[in-house]
């Protein structure tokens, strides 16, 4: 499966006191890319039935992002079991393809109605897994 990509531009509110993209913004971008990927690929039925919660985030910061940078968020699902999906994300500056950060996030599927953990079908796992 080809990684899902989306682009964002670094805005003034994304900048911290060190004059680069705040760490919390990278976390928000990881979440935004995951949600956009799910909405772009999952069937309407799956989107109605399955919700997702994060149980772990790992982010490695490689280089600073700056005001006005156009950033590419590239994400894909690594290992996917019936009860947990590993999502990997790369955040790159578009102009020079410099890697700004990498992320590994573990997501657990929940029943959208009850909020309780649920198993994901083989079809959904295959649709998103590499």
CATH number of the domain at 43, please.
3.10.129.10
Q: Residue 100: CB partners within 8 Å, gap ≥ 6? A: 21, 26, 61, 62, 63, 64, 65, 71, 91, 92, 93
Structure tokens at 97: 């393809």
Single out the residue of 125, 122, 130, 69 nearest to residue 100, CA to CA: 69
Q: How many structural domains compose the chain?
A: 1
Q: Digits of tens for pLDDT over the chain (130 positions)?
A: 789 999 999 999 999 999 999 999 999 999 999 999 999 999 999 999 999 999 999 999 999 999 999 999 999 999 998 899 999 999 999 999 999 999 999 999 999 999 999 998 888 888 887 6
The boundaries of the domain holding residue 24 are 4-128
Strands 99-111 and 50-61: antiparallel
Q: How far apart, in whole angstroms, are the C-alpha atoms of residue 33 and residue 13?
A: 19
């Amino acid at each position: 499966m080809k990684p899902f990509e989306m682009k964002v531009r670094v805005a003034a509110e994304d900048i911290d006191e060190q004059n680069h993209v705040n760490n919390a913004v990278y976390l928000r971008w990881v979440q935004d890319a995951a949600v956009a990927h799910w909405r772009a690929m999952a069937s309407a039925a799956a989107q109605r039935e399955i919700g997702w919660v994060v149980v772990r985030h790992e982010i490695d910061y490689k280089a600073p992002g700056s005001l006005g940078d156009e950033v590419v968020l590239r994400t894909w699902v690594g290992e996917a079991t019936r009860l947990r999906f590993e999502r990997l994300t790369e955040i790159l500056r578009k102009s020079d393809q410099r890697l700004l950060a990498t992320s590994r996030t573990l997501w657990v599927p929940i029943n959208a109605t009850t909020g309780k953990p649920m198993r994901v079908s083989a079809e959904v796992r295959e649709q998103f897994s590499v």
